[in-house]
Amino acid sequence: MEWLSPKKDELWVSNGRVNEVWRSGFDDVERREYIMQRWPGNWVELHPDDAKVRGIESGDMVMMYPDRVPVFKDTIWGVHGKDFQFSELMKNGHIKLDKASISAVVLVTPTTKKGAMYGNFLDMKQPTNSLTIRVPDNISGNYNYKMDVGEIKKIGKSEFKKDFRGMSFAPRNIT
Let me know how long the chain is.
175
pLDDT tens digits along 28-39:
656 677 777 777
The residue type of 9 is D
Q: Is it the case that residue 150 has pLDDT exceeding 70?
A: yes
* Tens digit of each residue's pLDDT (9 = 90 or more) over 101-138: 999 999 999 989 999 999 887 777 888 888 888 888 77
Please determine, for residue 24, whether its predicted confidence score (pLDDT) is greater than 90. Answer: no
| pLDDT score of 19 more than 70 | no
Determine the distance from the C-alpha atom of residue 20 to the mean position of all C-alpha atoms in its chain, rounded to a whole number: 18
CATH classification code of 6-157: 2.40.40.20
Domain ranges of the chain: 6-157
- How is 12-70 classified by DSSP, letter by letter? EEEEE--TTS-TT-TTHHHH-HHHHHH-SS-EEEE-HHHHHHTT--TTEEEEEE-S-EE
3-state secondary structure of 132: coil
Residue 27's pLDDT is what? 61
Please name the helix (run of DSSP H) or strand (run of DSSP E) that holds residue 117, with its range, or none: strand 116-120
pLDDT at 84: 79
- Nearest CA to 120 out of 1, 12, 7, 25 is that of 25
Q: Long-range contacts made by residues 170-174, C-beta under 8 angstroms, separation at least 24?
A: 171/107, 171/109, 171/110, 171/111, 172/18, 172/19, 172/45, 172/107, 172/109, 172/111, 173/111
Which residues neighbour 130 within 8 Å (Cβ) at sequence distance 6 or greater? 69, 100, 102
What are the angstrom distances between the C-alpha of 67 and each of 14, 101, 122? Answer: 15, 9, 22
- Predicted confidence (pLDDT) per residue in 51-104, tens digit: 999 999 999 999 999 999 999 888 777 777 788 788 888 888 999 999 999 999
pLDDT at residue 175 is higher than 60? no
For residue 8, is pLDDT > 80?
A: yes
